[in-house]
Amino acid sequence: MIGRRGRPPKYVLGRDKRPVVGLSREKSSKRYYASHSRPRKYFGTNLDQAIMQFRLWESAQGKTTTILLPNLQPLIAKRDQEESVREGWITKEHAEKRIPWPTDVPEDAFYAKCRELILKNPARFAERVGIPEIGFLQDLKPPERSISLTKVGELYFGKKRKISRDWTRKQTLFWSEFKTAVRAKTVRELEVEDLRRYHDTVWRAAEEQAHSPTYIAHRLQAVRTILRYALKHGQDQEQIRRVLDLTEVFENPKKNGTDPRPIRREDFRKLLEKSDAKWRPVLLLSLNAALYPSEVAAVRKSDIDLSAATLRMRRGKTGVPRVACLWPRTVEAIQAYLQDAPHESEYLFVNANGVAYNANHIGRNFRRRRKEAGVPDDVTLDQLRDGSYTAAVESGCDLTAAKALAGHRAGIADHYLLRRPTLVKAACEAIEEAYFG
């Protein structure tokens, strides 16, 4: 009858997180010992020294491999031979050629000797092996724990900033896509191959699904923005700065033409005629204030002052102030909408369940009304903003006012612009004249 086998020994893990086969640790004394030694052979409580001593002990038991060395005797000057004798690499008999130089030594003994020489005089060892960095080992510190990519995202999205919920939702999606593509858990684990793989994934998706250059640019820029935020707030700065340098492999797409495509007056009038009490103010506010779909969806009730007929808000992506002087027809349309469908949401435009719209919802409803109005398919919601800006510029009004209306940096202090929305009154009047005059 075969006796019961005992529990297998548990080996300790080295610095590389791999088990050191044959080396265990005693729970009571915290000392390391040779797992299968009888009686136990102990090696102290320091892991690094214990591993080295264990390897030397194994070498003495004949349980280690050897390293084959070349015959260096003809290559070493006599002075260095004498030093090698003193340091214990060779014996006096080797130096005097009375016995052949050793060409193989126990592997563990070889590394133990290297360790001894490095600790004894790192500068001299660095000189001998031609690696000057070894001479500064005593100045090195263990690397700090690297911040995880998840934590980097939480840091960015957890801070209250002046960006819209729609843009926050998009950036959250972009960062999630990035983490999935690179497969790394921490910033330190990111390598140039990871960044290149993400870049290629984004470009490939854009080509296969016929996305615009904006699809690519937004994603690549979001990664840089989130990393820069962590860098600015003192998180794992050395590693994040390294990764930001690696993002130089990102190739930004060339933008489509910069020529605006303003919506035609007759097309806008057709759309307006087919709009109900909810979508009439959406179209009017978009044209009146030169808003993109995502921006009109982000308008809060508190951004609108119906008594003063003004709009004051900030662009969701950049935080740049947006101001507009509202036309009487825009004010009347908003009032009619709020009376017809009152709701408790902080956002101006909501669905039947009281949930705020986003750019996709606005776009789908626009396409539905475009079809009902018999407007060509090449007419898009973005053309309302193009029409606003073009009409303002072509009217000859102050270009600074036109830029401020469009949400561009116009050289006007943010707080001043938000207090004086009447600065863009002439631009808003020019737009109304172009489409209703």
What DSSP assignment string belongs to 240-300?
HHHHHHHGGG--PPPPPP----PPPHHHHHHHHHT--TTHHHHHHHHHHTT--HHHHHT-B
What does the buried/exposed string (b/e) look like for 287-301 if buried means 16 or more CB atoms within 10 Å of the residue's CB?
bbbbbbbbbbbbbee
What was the pLDDT predicted at 173? 93
Instruction: Residue 16: count other Cβ atoms within 10 Å of its Cβ.
Output: 6
Tokens representing 11 are: 């080996």
Strand partners, 67: 105
Strand partners, 106: 66
Taking the C-alpha atoms of residue 335 and residue 307, their distance in angstroms, rounded to an integer, is 11
What is the Cβ-side half-sphere exposure of residue 247, based on CA atoms within 13 angstroms?
20
Taking the C-alpha atoms of residue 400 and residue 392, their distance in angstroms, rounded to an integer, is 11
3-class state of residue 34 by DSSP: strand
The residue behind tokens 């000392």 is: 31
What was the pLDDT predicted at 25? 93
Instruction: Residue 38: count other Cβ atoms within 10 Å of its Cβ.
Output: 6
What was the pLDDT predicted at 70? 46
The dihedrals phi and psi of 401, each to the nearest 5 degrees, come to -65, -40
**Angle, CA 216 vertex, CA 193 and CA 160 arms, to 5°:** 95
For domain 265-436, which CATH number applies: 3.30.390.30, 3.40.50.620, 1.10.443.10, 3.30.450.370? 1.10.443.10
What was the pLDDT predicted at 74? 46
Angle between helices 213-232 and 192-208 in degrees, nearest 10: 150
Instruction: Report which DSSP code applies to 100.
Output: P
What was the pLDDT predicted at 228? 93
Q: List, in sequence order, every beta strand (DSSP E) within 318-370.
A: 321-325
> Comparing C-alpha atoms, which of 240, 209, 356 is closest to residue 297?
356
Taking the C-alpha atoms of residue 54 and residue 40, their distance in angstroms, rounded to an integer, is 12
What was the pLDDT predicted at 433? 94
What DSSP assignment string belongs to 113-136?
HHHHHHHH-HHHHHHHHT-GGGGG
Per-residue pLDDT of the chain (437 residues; tens, 9 = 90+): 344 455 778 899 876 677 888 899 998 899 999 998 889 999 999 887 888 788 778 777 766 555 545 444 444 445 455 666 665 555 666 556 655 555 566 666 677 778 878 888 888 777 777 777 877 777 766 667 889 999 999 999 887 666 667 778 889 999 999 999 998 999 999 998 899 999 999 998 888 887 778 888 899 999 999 999 999 888 888 899 999 999 988 988 765 545 578 999 999 999 999 899 989 999 999 999 999 888 898 899 999 999 999 999 887 666 778 899 999 999 999 999 999 989 999 999 998 888 888 878 888 889 888 989 999 988 888 899 999 999 988 888 888 888 888 888 767 766 777 788 888 999 999 999 999 98
**Angle, CA 10 vertex, CA 8 and CA 11 arms, to 5°:** 130
pTM of structure: 0.51
* CB within 8 Å of 342: residues ≥ 6 apart: none
Tokens representing 55 are: 């390897």
Taking the C-alpha atoms of residue 194 and residue 211, their distance in angstroms, rounded to an integer, is 23
Taking the C-alpha atoms of residue 13 and residue 173, their distance in angstroms, rounded to an integer, is 38
> Comparing C-alpha atoms, which of 415, 255, 399 is closest to residue 319?
415
Taking the C-alpha atoms of residue 32 and residue 44, their distance in angstroms, rounded to an integer, is 6
3-class state of residue 69 by DSSP: coil
> Comparing C-alpha atoms, which of 67, 88, 76, 92 is closest to residue 128?
76
Taking the C-alpha atoms of residue 343 and residue 348, their distance in angstroms, rounded to an integer, is 9
Phi/psi region, residue 224 (left: phi>0; alpha: psi -120 to 50; beta: rest), is: alpha
H or E, element range at 379: none
H or E, element range at 49: helix 47-60
